Every structure is written in C-alpha cells, then in structure tokens.
Amino acid sequence: MSGTKRMRAVALSLVIAGLAACGNTGPDEGGSGPISVLARTATDTIMSSRAAQPAAPARTPQEAAAEALRVNPGPLIQVGFEGLGRTQVLALAGQNGAMRTYMTPSEEAVILRNGMLVGTRGLGRDLSVAEPGTEGLIRAGQSGRGTRVMRYLSGDGLERPLQFDCTTAPGPTPGVLVESCEGHGVAFQNNYLVQSGQIPVSRQWVGPGLGYITIQTLRP
C-alpha cells in the first residue's frame, strides 16, 4: 500500500466510524443487519434510562398515583412489578366484555378480568393467558380446590401451558382470599381483596419470568 493510499484508507475509515447509518429506510425495513439492530437496542436502552431518571427518584408511588388521577379522567390502576423493581400507573386502553387492557405510557399492558390477571404484554416474559379454574371460588370468597392453567410463549416460540393445582381459603387478614397453587416444582400464592365480587387490590403471580405483581385500583 502506498502512502497516499494508506492515508485515504485511514480517512475513509474515520468517515465510516462516524457514519451512524443514514438513509430513509425505516427501522422495520429489513436489511439493516446485526449492527444497526444492536445499535437500535442500545439507543433504546439509553433513551429509556434517560427518560426514567428525572422522574423516578422525585416521585413516590402515591405522588404518581395522585398526578395520574388528576391528568387522566379514565379508569386507572397502579401496578407494582416486583420482579422488575418498579411501580407504574396504567390507564385503560380497551375493554372487551369484562376484560380490560391497561397500558403504561410505553405500551406495556396488563390485562385483567374484573381484577383477576388474564395476561401481560410487552414485558419480555409475558403471561399469554391465564385460565383460573378457581375464579368462581375467589369471587365468592369461598374455600375450595381448582385447576389453574397459565400459558406462556416459550423461548422456542411456541405457546406452552403450565397447569397448577390450587386451593382457595380466607387469609389471615379479613376480606383477603388466598389462592395457593402448586405444580411443575413451583408454588405461589395469590392474594385478593374481594369486595362484592370485585377485586380492588391484589397480589398475583404472573409467571416464572416476572414473579409477582401487586395491583391496586386507583379509579374503577
């Protein structure tokens, strides 16, 4: 390689290094290759951590709830994602019969049927759908047995069911019903505050990836 050629190569490589892919191709329109997807993931991560920083330390969950109630006139819930270590206010995004989809501003969803967890979306290790055979017992505040099926997208891309044997019984706190489930080497307990068939407050197990969430109805 001659001197000028080497100079040119160095100059060119500097240009390339500074060249964060440009063009009018949207993020979805393929061919972007590994580098750009990883760059996009990194950018998203940085942006989200930046976005989260100013808000998070300043506000307690109570303050966040108060502000959401002031700003948003619709139904609201507050959800504590124990596995993710954050608490967020979710607003009603849609209702289909008794099933309600609540979403965070960044479009992560928690789906409830009259307070009972049906599924989650956008959290990475979501619950696709829960089929609690104990629902009647829980709403009636009765002790009994039932089967609960929880379906998940597994890593290989298939929807897989997990089946649990559950018992319901009143808990130590008056008005709280406890559902204890076991299966596949896992045991978990869901707690529901039942008030005339409605469940305004609960702590429910989402799945092996996300753990428990606590749900509090801010405005029904």
Partner 1 sequence: MRRPRLIRQLMATTLPVAMLVGSGTGVAVADPMLARNMSAYGMPGGIDTPTAEMLPDGSLGATLSWSDYARRGNVFFQALPRLTTVLRYARVDGINDYRDEGFISDRSLDLRFQVVDEQGWRPAVAVGLQDFLGTGVYSGEYIVATRNVTPTVRASVGLGWGVLAGKPRVIDVQDQGGTPNVDQWFSGGAKPFASVSWQVNDKLNLTAEYSHDRYYARYSDGNEYQQGDEPGSKFNFGASYRFGRNYEAGIYTIGGETIGAQFTIALNPRDAAFPSGLEPAPAPVRPRPAPAQDPEGWSGSWAQDPTAQPAIQTALADAMAEEGVRLEAMALSPTQAEVRLRNQRYISQAEAVGRTARLMTRALPPSVETFVITSTTDGVPTSSVTVRRSDVERLENTEAGQIAAASTLTDAPAHVPGLVRTDDLYPRFRWSIKPYLELGIFSAEDGLTHEVGAEARASYEIMPGLIATGALRQRAFGDIGQRGPGIPGERGEYYTPEEYESSPDLETTPEGVPRVRSDTRMYTGNSSPVIPELTLAWYAKPAPAVYTRVTVGLLERAYGGVSTEALWKPANSQLAFGAEINRVRKRDFDQLFDFRDYEVTTGHVSAYYEFTQGFTAQLDVGRYLAGDKGATVTLTREFANGWQVGAYATKTDLSSEEFGEGSFDKGVTLSIPLGWAAGQASRDRVSTNLRSLSRDGGSRLEVNGRLYDRVRESHTVDLYEGWGRFWR
Segment 125 to 184, residues that bind partner 1, using CB under 8 A: 125-126, 128-129, 131, 151-163, 183-184
Q: Report the site for partner 1 in 90-119 (rule: CB under 8 A).
A: 93-97, 99, 101, 103, 106-109, 111, 118-119
Q: Take residue 87 and report the two structure tokens written for it.
A: 């608490």
Q: Report the site for partner 1 in 18-57 (rule: CB under 8 A).
A: 19, 21-26, 28-38, 40-41, 44
Backbone phi, then psi, for 26, in 5-degree steps?
Answer: -70, 165
> Whole-number minimum distance, CB 155 to partner 1, in Å?
4
Distance separating alpha carbons of residues 218 and 220, to the nearest angstrom:
7
- Binding track over 57-86 against partner 1, x by CB under 8 A: ------------------------------
> Whole-number minimum distance, CB 47 to partner 1, in Å?
13
Residues 6+ apart with CB under 8 A from 216: 77, 78, 79, 200, 201
Shorter beta-carbon distance to partner 1: residue 94 or 220 = 94
> Whole-number minimum distance, CB 36 to partner 1, in Å?
7
Q: To which residue do tokens 């008056």 refer? A: 174
Distance separating alpha carbons of residues 204 and 127, to the nearest angstrom:
12
Distance separating alpha carbons of residues 2 and 43, to the nearest angstrom:
39
- Site size for partner 1, by CB under 8 A? 73
Distance separating alpha carbons of residues 17 and 42, to the nearest angstrom:
17
